[in-house]
Structure 1
Amino acid sequence: MSTQAQTIFFLGATGYLGSQFLLLLNEKLPQLHVVALLRNAIPVRKEQLQKLYSNISFVEGSLDDDAIIQEQAAKVDIVINCGSSDHPASTKSTLAGLETNSKNNPGKPPLYIHVSGCGIVSDNARGEPVEYVKEWSDLGLDLKQCNPENTHLDSDIPIVEAGSRTEDPVRTIIYFPAQIYGVGEGIQKTTMWLRMFLDMTKNVGHAGTWGSGANAMNNIHVKDCAMGLFLILQAALEGRADEGPEGLYFSASMEPKITFHDWTKIMGDYLLSKGIIKEGGTRPMPAEVVDPLGNYGWSLLGGNQSVKPERLYKLGWEPTESKKLSLLDSIPEAVDQVLKDQMRE
């Protein structure tokens, strides 16, 4: 498929994965035109993105702007959503626009690539040790077999349903990254989970976990994650990607899984060494931190998530950066980057 006239409507362009992906896209497929949804589209924010990807234009708005998202999705070839894996309203807006797009262009269904997360397979272990953790493959994956209370599914299942219909069809692909880590090269250089845990640690005075922190998940360096997303886009443009009910791709290295106890301990000891907190190590977070996030927090932060990215391997993907730098070894540099960014704010 020719990419000369293709246009991407991009959500989450300034984010951790989104901006890292744009750097890669600029290197590999700069002929694609990107229209970025940009909140507070002041000149400095536009310039930041133009440095990452030159062939870019902007529409001002947020994930809550239903009319804007529908309008853009109705007229582009591709939508990529790196903005949020837990914002059903923007997913609904996107799918409505893409349905209009398909209806107006018979025989040329648009492509939707949505970034979700491996929280869909959480076993909800509540941070406690378990005897057996199921390893999920993306081959034969059926989202309706996942625990319906798990995160992301309220956005993901409607996407698969849209990709399954024959009338006004949409080509759908969902990308499920594991625990993304590492300092990126884009605009947002650190992952949200690290920033969130660091803020909680500073507020309560110690690093902590949901329950005892015995739960673990696969991890993936941000550069490997961006490369996986690019390979999926490239395969879709060439007509060789799995799509619809089969278009479900895990993104995870098979490097050793790290328990939440172990990586929060590294973070706690490092923050103690810098004099930011007065207690090293890690222990369970208090109710005042855990309770406000309810089931969402227990599922995402207290469960095991074990996956195997077999569809990405079929595309020739290899998690090279994850093999060079482990999650544990990445934490000091990433913490320093978060602290540096916070001083600028």
Structure 2
Amino acid sequence: MAPRLFITGASGYIGGQFISNVIAEHPEYQIVGLVRTTEQGEKLTSKYPSVHIAIGDLGSSEVLVEESKLADLVIQAADCDHLGAITSIIQGLSLGKRNGFFIQVSGAASVLDISNGVGQPSSKVWDDIVDLDDILSFDETHIHSASDKLVFSEGKKHGIRTAIVVPPNIYGKGQGIKEWSMGLPWLVELFKKRAKGFTLGEGKTLVSTIHVKDVANVLVYFAEQALGADGGKVEWGEKGYYYAEAGEKSCLDIVAAIAREMAEKGMIKTVELDELTSEEANQLHPWATFMYGSNMRIRASRLRGLGWTPKQPGVFETVFEMLE
């Protein structure tokens, strides 16, 4: 019998790319995608006719429980901080007959760092081997900590094998219904709005990055391991926490590359950059300091130890895609 996968966020950026990758590599898998509306479902099935649709959202407990009950594997690729969804999914898996697996897509915002000031670099790089115990002990002042801990505690309580995949800033054009992430495309729009690029402070913060297709490839790898013998090479359970990154760049270099490409296309008039304060940038977008003025430095030692390497072009090589 074909493995059955249930994925939330099926019409989203990461979820859509995962569906594209997994269908290409494993057409034998039965994929069920959660979408909010019939219209989204029709868009998804027109692109991927083999996908089955479940209508609901992360608050649709009955839908989540029932679909998870039927699944061999659930991937939560929607809002990772929705605690009710985590509880419902793991409850559903525990009611099934297949001893299923649960993969949560979280985010590296838990290690955001402006301790040296906005726009200034930090020296700390969080490594998922060296620093794993500290990472798993983060209190709830760290973004995503509450949901990450709930995944592991609920999994242990119900005997469900769980893992968390943690990407940083994601870039690149996706192949699903939603083609773009928030961060860099929003920056392009802000540059257009003010007709000039900017940094927060000196723009020297350092951020880890990864292409959306590489994130999806990680999830496909985890799915393969889950559906293989005894959970494969992945460590499931309370220490099943994996960073996914493809190197790091300075915000200044990223911003300068975007401004240069936009100026060449006549979208802005200069490659020069303004230095904005947090207050000034946050007037342009309330998340500006969070997205463009903070360090986010991680190292995916565990994935690399399993033989995984990123395959996609770097962030500089893909800037032009956002401007087409």
TM-score range with shorter-chain normalisation?
A: 0.7 to 0.9
**Number of the residue aligned with 2:124:** 133
The superposition leaves residues 18-71 of structure 1 with CA deviations (integer Å, 9 ceiling, x where unpaired) of 2222122112222222221112222xx445423554431112223343443344
- Pair 1:283 & 2:278 matched: no
- Pair 1:162 & 2:159 matched: no
**Number of the residue aligned with 1:343:** none
Offset, 1:289: 4.1
Gaps of 5+ in 2: none
- Pair 1:244 & 2:237 matched: yes
Kept after mapping to 2: 8 A contact 1:136/1:308 = yes
Offset, 1:185: 2.8
- Pair 1:334 & 2:322 matched: yes
Mapped to 1, the partners of 2:89 and 2:17 lie a distance apart of: 26
1:188 aligned residue (167, 178, 190): 178
Residues 218 and 54 of structure 1, relative CA distance in 2, 3 Å threshold = same
Q: Which moved more, 1:185-194 or 1:140-149?
A: 140-149
The CA RMSD measured in Å over matched residues stands at 2.7
Kept after mapping to 2: 8 A contact 1:218/1:306 = yes
- Pair 1:57 & 2:57 matched: no
1:173 aligned residue (159, 163, 169): 163
**Number of the residue aligned with 2:19:** 22
Mapped to 2, the partners of 1:311 and 1:144 lie a distance apart of: 15
Mapped to 1, the partners of 2:224 and 2:47 lie a distance apart of: 19
**Number of the residue aligned with 2:63:** 68
Mapped to 2, the partners of 1:330 and 1:56 lie a distance apart of: 29
1:309 aligned residue (279, 300, 305): 300
Offset, 1:311: 2.1
Mapped to 2, the partners of 1:133 and 1:121 lie a distance apart of: 9
**Number of the residue aligned with 1:320:** 311
2:88 aligned residue (96, 108, 114): 96
State the SS of the aligned residue for 1:186: coil
Residues 308 and 27 of structure 1, relative CA distance in 2, 3 Å threshold = same
Mapped to 1, the partners of 2:145 and 2:238 lie a distance apart of: 14
Mapped to 1, the partners of 2:61 and 2:200 lie a distance apart of: 35
Mapped to 2, the partners of 1:212 and 1:63 lie a distance apart of: 39
Which residue identity is paired with 2:240?
G
State the SS of the aligned residue for 1:9: strand
Offset, 1:183: 2.4
Residues 207 and 177 of structure 1, relative CA distance in 2, 3 Å threshold = same
Kept after mapping to 1: 8 A contact 2:171/2:210 = yes
Q: Quote the sequence identity (%).
A: 25
Which residue identity is paired with 2:204?
A
Mapped to 1, the partners of 2:7 and 2:199 lie a distance apart of: 34
Mapped to 2, the partners of 1:223 and 1:65 lie a distance apart of: 29
Mapped to 1, the partners of 2:119 and 2:281 lie a distance apart of: 18
Residues 279 and 140 of structure 1, relative CA distance in 2, 3 Å threshold = closer
Mapped to 2, the partners of 1:13 and 1:281 lie a distance apart of: 39
Kept after mapping to 1: 8 A contact 2:120/2:201 = no
Kept after mapping to 1: 8 A contact 2:281/2:288 = no
Kept after mapping to 1: 8 A contact 2:202/2:252 = yes
Kept after mapping to 2: 8 A contact 1:137/1:309 = yes
2:197 aligned residue (176, 184, 207): 207
State the SS of the aligned residue for 2:188: helix
Offset, 1:113: 0.8
**Number of the residue aligned with 1:221:** 211
The superposition leaves residues 80-131 of structure 1 with CA deviations (integer Å, 9 ceiling, x where unpaired) of 122233xx33x422323422441x347x533111111222222234433346
Mapped to 1, the partners of 2:193 and 2:36 lie a distance apart of: 28
Aligned residues: 318
- Pair 1:83 & 2:78 matched: yes
Residues 60 and 131 of structure 1, relative CA distance in 2, 3 Å threshold = closer
Residues 183 and 97 of structure 1, relative CA distance in 2, 3 Å threshold = closer
Offset, 1:229: 1.4
Kept after mapping to 2: 8 A contact 1:121/1:146 = no
Which residue identity is paired with 2:322?
A
Kept after mapping to 2: 8 A contact 1:150/1:299 = no
